[in-house]
Amino acid sequence: MFDLKINSGTKKIFYKNLSLAVKFLIDDGSLKKNVLNIERIFNCRLTELQKNNFISKEVDEIRIAKPSGKPDEIILKKIKLNDQFDVDVFRNYLSSLVERISKEQIKFLHITIPSFSIFKQYFEDEEYFYQTFIEGIFFGNYSFDKYKTEKKSRKKLEVFFYAENEKKVKNAINTANTLMNAVYFVRDLQNEPSNQLTPDLLAKRISSEAKIAGIKCTVFDEKEIAKRNMGGLIAVGKGSINKPKFIVLEYKPVVKTGKIKKSKLKKVVLVGKGMTFDSGGISLKPSKSMGEMKNDMAGASVVAGTLIAAAKNKLPVHLFGIIPAAENMPSGEAFKPGDIIKTASGKTIEVDDTDAEGRVILADALDYASKLKPNQIIDLATLTGAVVVALGDFVAGLFSKSDELAEKLYKSGMRTFDRVWRLPLWDDYHKLNESSVADVKNLGGRWGGAISAAKFLENFVDKKIPWAHLDIAGPSIHNDSRHYTKKYMTGFGVRLLFDYLKNNS
């Protein structure tokens, strides 16, 4: 794609050769008048066909060539403020635009952001309104081609954003730049083939990136994991020649005297499932789409990416990232249905199905997180297919007994369009995981599968700590809901958690 440079434009616009300008027009009954204004502003003439097309209901975009240049071409994009409008419109549109022009020789892209006052009912914050445009450029420019032998050289594209508040545009560019680079890191990890991302390699990649961001990273090897009695992680990982790792990240902001006391810093632990590949183990998965199980470490990557974004944006919150990493493979040493496992908490698990392995490794991770005595714990996992059946592939399941935590995560989801939907966590569901031979069983049966998985995890969280579980099995994998989610693993959750932490720290 492009070698991007993103700028805040000044009030006086200078168009160089090979420029494309994008102008958004609101479809409010004044299109004909606004098109005439466009002709005046850009000193150009639209044909009658172009005018009629754009004013019609069927066409929402036209592209106009300007032989005299400055700019060389103009795109007019129609925006309808109807019940189909959502806060992702500009992000989604610009992501598709960047991909569409990637084969062209455009060097300068000029985007005029419409007045925030028109969109106040949809966006709470002007700066974040601007940020959605910038994120769209980043999303459209993402690709994963490192294993292609023939690589196209990256062309340079300089993007200019023009808006009413130049300072807020600059702030939005700075935030989006660090945030979306963290999303890129997460997507790169998720799209890696599992032979290039074993638990050890995942730990090394995360450790390297964490060091650059000033984040402390500690990695427990197999001996340390055993020493800490993490029986869940040991059991799941022992079937593979690539042995498990347990990754602990810590970001603690530098506190300036007089601004905030260290004791006042909110402590939040993020926990991410890190199955670098899940074959299902002895309970082997069907071969169709098994290759997508390279993404079973999506929760882990999102946790790492969120801490990196938080550190680079200097969020005033004390964060831990806890990542149990393993491969689930069938072998003579693999754990089996009927096994009973003792976890770090001392609680025992009856293995009903080795393909329900993610919750088993999270049992040790959530116990570790609880012992850190944080203000909150949030875990993310590609945990169940059942949540996709319930909600579709574009939204994550949210489980929590804390109404406050659930509501704030929901709001951040709607704001960022990394959307979550709350499902029940009633104690009636505990019986689904009951075992006659152990404290709990690792599979709750066919009905309410996403809920019984969440209830399983609840057994390993300190009841005094507000906790939320996000089942991201659907939206972390490429899907057709948005243009920028169609081709690659999505990085879902980084923008959600970053927004939540930024607005609630």
**Active-site amino acid positions:** 285, 359
Buried b (16+ CB within 10 A) or exposed e, 127-146: bbbbbbbbbbbbbbbbbeee
Q: In terms of Cα–Cα distance, which of 310, 474, 484 is closest to 398? A: 474
d(CA 126, CA 131): 9
Strand partners, 470: 380, 398
DSSP 97-160: HHHHTTTS---EEEEEPPPGGGGTTT-S-HHHHHHHHHHHHHHHT----TT-SS-PPPEEEEEE
Contacts of 9 (CB under 8 A, 6+ apart): 110, 160, 161, 162
Decide if 308 contacts 362 (C-beta within 8 A).
Answer: no
Q: In terms of Cα–Cα distance, which of 412, 497, 502, 489 is closest to 87? A: 412
Hey, how many other C-beta atoms are within 10 angstroms of the C-beta on 20? Answer: 21
d(CA 492, CA 496): 8
Start-to-end CA span in the chain (Å): 36
Is 270 buried (19+), middle (13-18) or exposed (0-12) by CB count in 10 A? Answer: buried
Q: What are phi and psi of 217, to 5 degrees?
A: -130, 125
* C-alpha Rg value of the chain to the nearest Å: 25
Angle separating helix axes 166-191 and 494-504, nearest 10 degrees: 140
Decide if 291 contacts 483 (C-beta within 8 A).
Answer: no
